[in-house]
Amino acid sequence: MTFSPELEAKFADLVTHYPEGRQRAALIPMLMFGQEEVGSITPEFMEEVAKRLGLNTMQVDEVVGYYSMLHKKGMGKYHVQVCTNVACMLRGGAELYDHACHKLGLGHKEVSADGVISLEEVECMGACSWAPAIQVNYDFHHEVTTEQLDTILEGLKK
């Protein structure tokens, strides 16, 4: 499997961050960056990462299954993540998620037919002070109301 030169450089840099023999610590960032380029974490990608870090594929598979931000199937161009953890839940996160589901016609980790938007119900994103929070790709939206959500989603569809 081949990656872009930028990603290769990033990978090469990542492994130097950790002491000799602890290179497996680079696993999660490698998967995160790789996911962005590859689109999803494919079996070949897992094998490649395992090979580079001297792990077996099963160990990579375990990590991918554990972390909700790592996806085995591709997500939409805009990945909408709605937090329903305690703080957001108290401020209407669950209703916001239900609204998004209804509006988009999508469920948890589902992608729209045109592949533009995907939805995910996530755990705490660390934005409790501005709950309820949503995240579209890496952009935060704070104290979101259903109306604001509609505007954001409309904006994405264009």
Partner 1 sequence: MALVNVTINGVQVQAENGALLIEVAKQNGIEIPAFCYYEGMSLQAACRMCLVEVEKAPKLMAGCTLPVAEGMVVRTESEPVVKARKTTLEFLLSNHPLDCPVCDKGGECELQDMTFKYGVGESRFTEIKQHVPEKQWSPVVFYDAPRCILCYRCVRVCNEGMGVGALGVSYRGVNAEIIPSNGDHLECDECGSCIDICPVGSLTSGIYRYKTRPWEMEHVGTVCTHCSNGCKTTLGVRNNEIVRGNNRDKSGINGEFLCVKGRYAFDFTQHPERLQTPLIRNAAGELEEASWSRALKLVAEKFKALAGPDFGVIGSTRTTNEENYLLQKFARTALGTASIDHHRTGDVVTLIDSLSGKTGQLATAEDLYTSKAVLVVASDLSQQQPLLANKIRANVRHHKAAVYTVTPGPVREDKIARKAIRIAEADSLAGVEQLREALSKEAELVIIYGDAIQGEKVRQLVAFGESLGIPVKYVALVDYANSRGALDMGLLPDLGPGYHATAPGRSLQQMLDDPKLAALWVVGSNPLKGGKSLASTNAFVVVQDLFLTETAQRADVVLPAASAYEKNGTVTNVCGQVQRLKKGIETVGSKADLAIIGLLARGMGVNLGKVDADAIFAEIAASVPGYNQLPMPVILTGGAVQTHPVNGGVPPSSVPGIIASARDTLFTTGSLTRYSKILNEVLEKPGALYS
**Site residues (vs partner 1, CB under 8 A):** 56-59, 61-62, 64-66
Q: Closer to partner 1 by CB, 83 or 149: give it.
A: 83
- Six-digit token string for 99: 């609204």
CA geometry: angle 39, 45, 50, nearest 5 deg: 145
Query: Judged by CB, which is closer to partner 1: 8, or 62?
Result: 62
Nearest distance from residue 51's CB to partner 1, in Å?
A: 12
Q: What sign has the CA pseudo-torsion 65, 69, 70, 74?
A: positive
Q: What's the closest the beta carbon of residue 66 comes to partner 1, in angstroms?
A: 5
Which lies closer to partner 1 via its Cβ, residue 40 or residue 57?
A: 57
Shortest Cβ 154–partner 1 spacing (Å)? 34
SS3 73: coil
Q: Residue 132: is the preceding peptide bond cis (ω within 30°)?
A: yes
Looking at the Cβ atoms of 53 and 153, the one nearer to partner 1 is 53
CB of residue 34 to partner 1, shortest distance in Å: 18
Mention every residue, 6+ apart, whose C-beta is less than 8 A from residue 120. Answer: 68, 75, 79, 80, 81, 82, 108, 109
